[in-house]
Structure 1
Amino acid sequence: MPELPEVETTRRGIEPHVAGRTLTAVTVREPRLRWPVDARVAELRDKRIVGLRRRAKYLLMDLGDLNLGIHLGMSGTLRVVPAETPLRKHDHIDLHLDSGRLLRFNDPRRFGALLYLTDALTHPLLANLGPEPLDQDFSGGWLYRRSRGRRVSVKSFIMDNATVVGVGNIYAQESLFLAGIHPSRPAGRISEARYQRLALAIRSVLAKAIEAGGTTLRDFTSADGQPGYFAQQLLVYGRAGEPCPQCAEPLRGGRHGQRSTVYCPRCQR
């Protein structure tokens, strides 16, 4: 599944081609996505695209009086292509631009979404999200205060979008390793000082992933057709049994909250 860096990479790749353009029409070939595509989407005409921003894993296309919310789901991709580009299997939606190009949404598994949002920030899917991990509102103090009395594991805690958005399985493991925190430690039993280190680690890991173009995942390629390269820099994810890059102890792997987890039993406490 594309995580926050992949979605941000997609936004940065696409925005120069859509911001300031006019959305002239929308072709919906398959409305049966994760949620049915609102019939009003196909009726959109002559809408200026003010900009394209990201909230958590949602891309929000600002059309002035409304937003189109795009979620890539498990396998969705967006490409900017010439209007005459032949259709591929699973090309479900085309957003027609006045440049003569299309913003084409492809989603083999149909777990993605295209949402018609009259007020994006109050929509139930967006209203209760936590802070962005790279914004000033996110800090170790925020994590510490929110974690008090919580028995849930710290890994599950930071993967909760109500705590902070966009810290998926890959980046949770990497951040906890850098902060020296065991993934199964109860969130409410971690000091503020350690949460300060964790917040810094989350910022660092995500910023590097965005800069590198997103992690290479089987179902993701960036807007220009090139895969991301951050996977080459991962310290623990997918490396169970290999030596820890800090102490050489074999990294341990297992299931944690039904998700794979790799950690160092010596460096993470």
Structure 2
Amino acid sequence: MLEMPEVITIARQMRAELVGKTVVSAHRESSPHKFVFYGCDRETFEARPTGGVVTDVSAGGKWVYATIGEHTLMFGDMGGRALYHETDATLPEKYHALLRFEDGSAFSITVQGWGFLRVEDSAAAMRHEHYGDRGLYTLSDDFTAAEWVRRLREFGSANGRSIKYFMISGPSVPGIGNSYLQDILYRGGIHPKRPVADISDAEAERLHAAIRLTLTAAIDLGGRDEERDLYGRRGGYARILGSRTRGKPCPECGALIEKTQYLGGAAYFCPLCQS
């Protein structure tokens, strides 16, 4: 799944590559997929961007927004590829969205697993529930240690849910999914099942630093090495914890990395460094 570092990388590349290009045709899926959610019929999806000029591309949370004429192409909460094609030679056989430009280049989206693709009137797009960040943007100036501690305290006082739930299922930290969560919690020394209410202020501040460190490093490296950028190149960020490190020694203490299933996904952790 694409998370914040991958989305930011792709949006930056799209902005550099696509702004100023005119869309001559738009196409919905060449291969139907029941877990791709468009929000409109084929005719509308294909008509809205056609004839428009790409004027901006931005990222928010796990979403990319491309302004095309009076409309916005939104895609996110997805696994798969978003690729630029200088010619038809590299077009995928199966895609779920394809934009062709007047200079002969193209842009395709191919969803793996599930994903959301929408083309909305730009004014309506800004009001859409998935537009921008619905929570505290973790790389903004507003994401201070004090504000992070305050939000944890507020959440923890209201229920007994875990830090994993708060970070990827709750509304407070958009852009972080299960992949980056593993390294963030490892660097913060927090077990994924730990109740938010049990996290001290000092631990919360350490977790704040871990979020900044992990996401900044991943963005600088173009995302995870399990995902690809706009040109099909793998990112350079290798996760500390994941399927490849399960059963291997922890880099800090040497204990073997463990795995458990929790809240609908895998959770990897060091039994000694995380509590």
Question: TM-score, normalising length from structure 2?
Answer: 0.85
% identity of equivalent residues: 25
Equivalent residues in 2 for 1:219-258, closer than 5 Å: 220-231=227-238, 234-238=239-243, 239-258=245-264
RMSD, matched Cα:
2.4
Aligned-partner residue type, residue 34 of structure 1: F
Q: Which moved more, 1:156-165 or 1:88-97?
A: 88-97
| Counterpart-to-counterpart distance in 2, 1:40 and 1:161 | 32
| Counterpart-to-counterpart distance in 1, 2:247 and 2:46 | 51
Q: Residue in 1 aligned with 2:21?
A: 21
Gap change, CA 1:102 and 1:161, over 3 Å in 2 = farther
Q: Residue in 2 aligned with 1:262?
A: 268
Gap change, CA 1:157 and 1:72, over 3 Å in 2 = closer
| Counterpart-to-counterpart distance in 2, 1:190 and 1:140 | 14
| Counterpart-to-counterpart distance in 1, 2:257 and 2:93 | 41
SS in 1 for 2:166: helix
Gap change, CA 1:91 and 1:258, over 3 Å in 2 = closer
Aligned 8 A contact 2:3 2:61 in 1: no
| Counterpart-to-counterpart distance in 2, 1:221 and 1:145 | 36
Match of 1:66 among 67, 71, 75: 71
Aligned 8 A contact 1:69 1:117 in 2: no
- CA shift for structure 1 position 106: 2.2
Aligned 8 A contact 1:9 1:222 in 2: yes
Q: Which moved more, 1:153-162 or 1:203-212?
A: 153-162
Aligned 8 A contact 2:10 2:230 in 1: yes
Count how many residue pairs are aligned between Structure 1 and Structure 2: 264
Q: Residue in 1 aligned with 2:4?
A: 4
Aligned 8 A contact 2:52 2:70 in 1: no
Q: Residue in 2 aligned with 1:213?
A: 222
Q: Which moved more, 1:124-133 or 1:2-11?
A: 124-133
| Counterpart-to-counterpart distance in 1, 2:133 and 2:236 | 32
SS in 2 for 1:268: coil
Aligned-partner residue type, residue 27 of structure 1: H
Give per-residue Cα distances to partners, 1:123-175, cap 9 Å, x unaligned. 12337721222112223333322233131111221113511111111211111
| Counterpart-to-counterpart distance in 1, 2:46 and 2:264 | 38
Aligned-partner residue type, residue 135 of structure 1: S
| Counterpart-to-counterpart distance in 2, 1:57 and 1:262 | 22
Alignment gaps of 5+ in structure 2: none
| Counterpart-to-counterpart distance in 2, 1:14 and 1:166 | 18
Gap change, CA 1:262 and 1:107, over 3 Å in 2 = closer
Gap change, CA 1:19 and 1:243, over 3 Å in 2 = same
Q: Which moved more, 1:112-121 or 1:143-152?
A: 112-121
- CA shift for structure 1 position 28: 2.6
Equivalent residues in 2 for 1:76-95, closer than 5 Å: 77-85=81-89, 87-95=91-99
- CA shift for structure 1 position 192: 2.7
| Counterpart-to-counterpart distance in 2, 1:138 and 1:193 | 16
Q: Residue in 2 aligned with 1:203?
A: 212
| Counterpart-to-counterpart distance in 2, 1:98 and 1:157 | 45
Q: Residue in 2 aligned with 1:133?
A: 138
Matching of residue 189 in structure 1 with residue 198 in structure 2: yes
Q: Residue in 2 aligned with 1:151?
A: 160
Aligned-partner residue type, residue 138 of structure 1: F
SS in 2 for 1:85: helix
Alignment gaps of 5+ in structure 1: none
| Counterpart-to-counterpart distance in 2, 1:51 and 1:128 | 18
Q: Deviating runs (4+, > 6 A) in structure 1? A: none
Q: Residue in 2 aligned with 1:142?
A: 147
- CA shift for structure 1 position 36: 4.4
SS in 1 for 2:169: coil
